[in-house]
Structures are given as structure tokens and as C-alpha cells.
Amino acid sequence: MLLVAGPLAWAAHFAVTYATVAVWCAKVAGREGPLGHARTAVAAYTAVALVVIAAVARDAWTRYRLGGDRTPLDADDAAGRHRFLGLAAFLLAGLSAVATLYAALAVALIGSCR
């Protein structure tokens, strides 16, 4: 579950962000209206998603470092698999953080529903 937790946080952020902006532009502001409160909501969604991703990354890094440097990542034992999955989850969490920031950047740079 740790392996997919970071990408799931990004996917949830992506879906909620674009649903919020779509509903805001369709129902509240109109086609040419400003994003207004939708920007605030997206900033809050981004902060929550980044906190979740940071927690996942911290846990994954702890799992990766648990075996120390003695156990190679490609060892055919439980410790090697444990370290490999910890590193993979850490890297996926980093990628998810970048993707979350890019999704929020679109809303930050575009000032209207246009």
C-alpha cells in the first residue's frame, strides 16, 4: 500500500482540483469570470496533498534505511525486497509531489476561467 500511496494522493488532488475549478467556472463565475475562491480551495488541496506525500516519503525513506547499507537492493531475501520497495515508494512520492505542484501551478498562473 505504501508504494501507491503517493500516486494516489496526487490522483486525488488532480481530480478534486479540476472538479472544483470546473464546477466553479460552470456554476459560479461563468466562462470569463475570475477563479476567486477556487484558487483558495486549490491551495488548500495542494497543502493537504503535499503533507500526505511528505508523510509517505518519510515512511518510505525509513523503510529503505532500515536495513542499513549492508543489504543490497537486489538481494533475494526479505530485507532486500523491503529496502527496494522503500526506495521505490520514496521515488514515487517525489514524483507525485512534482506532479501535484504542476497541477496547482496551472491554477496559480491562470487567473480566469477562460
The answer as to whether 34 is a domain residue is yes
Q: For residues 43 and 20, is the Cβ–Cβ distance under 8 A?
A: no
| CA dihedral angle for residue 56, residue 41, residue 100, residue 89, rounded to 10 degrees | 10
Backbone angles phi, psi at 46, to 5 degrees: -65, -45
Cell numbers given for 2: 505504501
Give the pTM: 0.87
Residue 114, SS3 per DSSP? coil
**Greatest distance between any 2 Cα atoms in the chain:** 60
Structural domain total, the chain = 1
Mean pLDDT of the 4-30 span:
93
Report residue 6's pLDDT band, with 50, 70 and 90 as the boundaries: very high
Separation between Cα atoms, residue 48 and residue 59, nearest integer Å: 17
The answer as to whether 70 is a domain residue is yes
The answer as to whether 62 is a domain residue is yes
The answer as to whether 40 is a domain residue is yes
The answer as to whether 94 is a domain residue is yes
**81 against 56, higher pLDDT:** 56
The answer as to whether 114 is a domain residue is no
Mean pLDDT of the 15-35 span:
88
Neighbours of 98 (CB within 10 A): 11
Q: For residues 112 and 32, is the Cβ–Cβ distance under 8 A?
A: yes
Domain range for 27:
2-109
The answer as to whether 42 is a domain residue is yes
By mean pLDDT, which of 2-11, 63-72, 83-92 is the weakest? 63-72
The answer as to whether 96 is a domain residue is yes
Backbone angles phi, psi at 108, to 5 degrees: -70, -35
